[in-house]
Homo-oligomer: A and B are copies of this chain.
Amino acid sequence: MTDTGNAVLMSGTDVARAITDRTAQRAAQFAEKTGRKPCLATVLVGDDPASETYVRMKRNRCAKVGIESKHVPLPASTTTAQLVELITDLSNDPAVNGILLQHPVPAHIDERAAFEAIAPGKDVDGVTMHSFADMAFGGKGFASCTPAGIMRILDAYDVDPRGKHAVVIGRSPILGKPMGMLLLARDATVTYCHSKTQDLPSIVRTADIVVAAVGRPEFVRGEWIKPGAVVLDAGYNEGNVGDVAFDEAAVRAGLITPVPGGVGPTTIAVLLEQTVDAAFEQRA
């Protein structure tokens, strides 16, 4: 058992299990009503081993909860036009309820163009511009899965962001940026930090809630953490290491997510949940 210092560990595994159990029930209800399972299309371009592993994990989890997955592997040489055409076909295919394009895609592909070919109603991974704006404006669209998973962890541990100062480190289109928007929609004061931020430690020291989404192992140091702060580590670096120096941070944090078993499991749980949501909505 890891020493968590003073901090209470927030178990993403537990939060994910609760989401997944409910999703399995709803998937079964859907199948009973319609005679078919909800279906997630998974698109993988190229043969990056990490991406292959992620997609396999997601498909296994689909199978466990009663979601069919339709896997579409494409060669690394796929062009943007070919990928857009394929995703457009999936968007128009009534047998497909949700679409996941595993990223990153090879560098020669215009990832944004590929994402935008996903119909908003099938964007269960929350990657389209429409979904992003919906998160920002508090609408009912699908959320980017990792930020949405983090919100579920906060809710599960009764952390109300309202009026709190949340510092998001990282500003990627599917993680940092939507994370800040979801926290802002829940009335947090939100600061976006990134590689150009000056004196990051002193900004993090003012944070009641810290979300690390940098992609650099143990980048956030324990001494940056305000005593009692809530620390969420969305990083997942080689060797099961997060973006937060866990042992240091756990001494000061009030609540903290581990890596693994923190944010990661909730990401997949939200993906599955949104796939079932999509299936029901398309039937409605």
Residues of A within 8 A of B (CB): 112, 129-130, 132-134, 136-137, 139, 162-165, 171, 173, 177, 180-181, 184, 187, 189-194, 196-198, 203
Contact = CB atoms under 8 A, between A and B. Distances in A.
A197 B187 CA distance: 8
Contacts of A190: 191-192
B192 A189 contact: yes
Contacts of A184: 171, 177, 192, 194
Contacts of A162: 196
A194 to B, nearest CB: 7
A186 to B, nearest CB: 9
A136 B173 contact: yes
Given A133-B133, A189-B192, 15 more contacts: A112-B139, A129-B129, A129-B133, A129-B137, A130-B130, A132-B132, A162-B196, A163-B196, A164-B198, A171-B184, A177-B184, A184-B192, A187-B196, A189-B193, A190-B191
A112 B138 CA distance: 11
Q: Is the interface of A mostly helix, strand, loop or mixed?
A: mixed
Nearest to A168: B190
Contacts of A197: 163, 189
17 contacts: A129-B129, A129-B137, A132-B132, A132-B133, A132-B137, A136-B173, A136-B177, A163-B197, A164-B198, A171-B184, A177-B181, A189-B192, A189-B193, A189-B198, A190-B191, A190-B192, A191-B191
Contacts of A130: 129-130, 133
Contacts of A203: 165, 189
Contacts of A132: 132-133, 136-137
Nearest to A162: B196
Contacts of A133: 129-130, 132-133
Nearest to A183: B192
A196 B164 CA distance: 9
Nearest 6 pairs of A and B residues by beta carbon: A129-B133, A187-B196, A191-B191, A189-B197, A132-B133, A190-B192
A206 to B, nearest CB: 8
Contacts of A163: 196-198
Nearest to A131: B133
A21 to B, nearest CB: 33
A187 B194 contact: yes
A5 to B, nearest CB: 26
A164 B163 CA distance: 23
Contacts of A198: 163-165, 189
